[in-house]
Amino acid sequence: MNFDKFTGLGIIAGVILVVALVILGPLAVIWALNTLFGLGIAYTFWTWLAVLVLSGTISSSRVSSTKTRG
């Protein structure tokens, strides 16, 4: 068995998964908000970017608050 080949494939698969989540994650959030609350948010680049920025802001504040607890 050539484990180096499998390790390389695992890294490539991980990168593809992260890219797919970054691209599709904000669209899934917009879809969920539209479905749950009937907001009618359009699927545009700017709304995708806004959700990406909000998700990053919420995630980074959550991480920083858990690190300072102690």
60-69, pLDDT tens digit by residue?
Answer: 776 666 565 5
| 17 part of a folded domain | no
| 29 part of a folded domain | yes
Q: What is the pLDDT of residues 27-44, one digit of tens each?
A: 999 999 999 999 999 999
Would you say the pTM of this structure is higher than 0.85?
no
- Residue numbers of the domain that contains 66: 24-70
| 36 part of a folded domain | yes
Name the residue with tokens 């959550």.
62
| 16 part of a folded domain | no
Cβ-based burial of 50 (10 A; exposed 0-12, middle 13-18, buried ≥19): middle
| 14 part of a folded domain | no
| 52 part of a folded domain | yes
Q: How many domains does the chain have?
A: 1
